[in-house]
Amino acid sequence: MTISPVSYLERAILVGVKQKLPPQRVATGPGAEESLDELAELVASAGAAVCDKILQSRERIDAATVVGRGKLEEIHARVASLGANLLIFDYDLTPSQQRNIESTADCRVVDRTQVILDIFARHARTREGQLQVELAQLNYLLPRLSGRGIEMSRLGGGIGTRGPGETKLEMDRRRIRTRISTLEKTLEGVRDQRMRRRSRRAGIPVATVALVGYTNAGKSTLFNRLTHAGVLVSSQMFATLDPTLRVLELPSHRRVVVSDTVGFIRNLPHTLIKAFRATLE
Ligand SMILES: Nc1nc2c(ncn2[C@@H]2O[C@H](COP(=O)(O)OP(=O)(O)OP(=O)(O)O)[C@@H](O)[C@H]2O)c(=O)[nH]1
Ligand SMILES: [Mg+2]
């Protein structure tokens, strides 16, 4: 896959929102800070430079702009002074929030989901992987299409515009719907095939061992060490998208099938989970 050189010219400012909790409530789980750091890793894997991180604390999310008008003016000034050309929100933006922010900040705006979709688009190698990414991208794009058809085609590169469906991002609604149902049918076929293969394997007394864990945890490295398979190892997140299976003989001489597969992350976009069902199953 060719990677647009435009991507390396992207200078991004990351924006996170932290909801202020009433004093009696204690925050649990990963905080907004960790999530923003993780987003920075994702953005680097997508090929853009991070020039600033902004974390805003609010009582509640602003319905129109997420961060509120005042903060947005501040962000606009920051974009200008740093020469940034991309705002990345660590928050799932609705199509109208995205438009509102874009018009005030005078800068392209994408969200965490788009960054992850973009990485998947760049890393999908097999036909199945590419079809799954395309399905996720089109499902993400469809509700966001109104009035953006022309803009999308004018952008011509960068996070949120790449992928196996790159040219198809310029399609109109009707054709996107048709394409989505074709992709769903094709992938349904892949799932059936997988299911049949699994049930055949279930009849043979060979255990399947799946390596699961956070993206970049070292699954592929371990897989290679165990099986000498030579799959891609990389410091980028989501280097592995397509599953690889190898037979491994344990010290006890028992044979098992080991599988390397896609990693996990917090808040993996729903469009991706749905599209990657065949792989994740
Ligand atoms: N320090 C250290 N680095 C490791 C170890 N195992 C792997 N790495 C490095 O961590 C990075 C990610 O390794 P991968 O094996 O590609 O990780 P993965 O879990 O397959 O990642 P994805 O396929 O992207 O989800 C690479 O740069 C590896 O060289 C380890 O035990 N120690
Ligand atoms: Mg891997």
pLDDT at 254 (0 to 100): 93
Per-residue pLDDT of 176-215, as tens digits, reads 899 999 999 999 998 888 889 888 877 778 888 999 999 9
> For the whole model, what pTM was predicted?
0.85
Task: Using the predicted structure, report yes or no on whether residue 151 has a pLDDT greater than 60.
Answer: no
Ligand 1 atom 31 nearest Cα: 218
Ligand 1 contact, 234 CB (< 6 A): yes
CA atoms of 237 and 74, how far apart (whole Å): 31
CA atoms of 2 and 243, how far apart (whole Å): 22
Per-residue pLDDT of 58-73, as tens digits, reads 888 999 999 999 999 9
Ligand 1 geometric centre to CA of 236 (Å): 9
CA atoms of 168 and 121, how far apart (whole Å): 13
CA atoms of 14 and 175, how far apart (whole Å): 33
Ligand 1 contact, 261 CB (< 6 A): no
Confidence of residue 267 (pLDDT cuts 50, 70, 90): confident
Domains and CATH numbers, the chain: 8-106 (3.40.50.11060)
Cα R_g (the chain), whole angstroms: 21
Q: Across residues 102-127, what is the average pLDDT?
A: 91
Task: Using the predicted structure, report yes or no on whether residue 8 has a pLDDT greater than 70.
Answer: no
Task: Using the predicted structure, report yes or no on whether residue 126 has a pLDDT greater than 60.
Answer: yes
Task: Using the predicted structure, report yes or no on whether residue 37 has a pLDDT greater than 50.
Answer: yes
Asked whether 156 and 211 are in contact (CB, 8 A), the reply is no
Confidence of residue 15 (pLDDT cuts 50, 70, 90): very high
Strands 255-260 and 207-211: parallel
Task: Using the predicted structure, report yes or no on whether residue 35 has a pLDDT greater than 60.
Answer: yes
Ligand 1 atom 5 nearest Cα: 218
CA atoms of 55 and 60, how far apart (whole Å): 14
Give the percent of the chain with pLDDT over 70.
Answer: 86
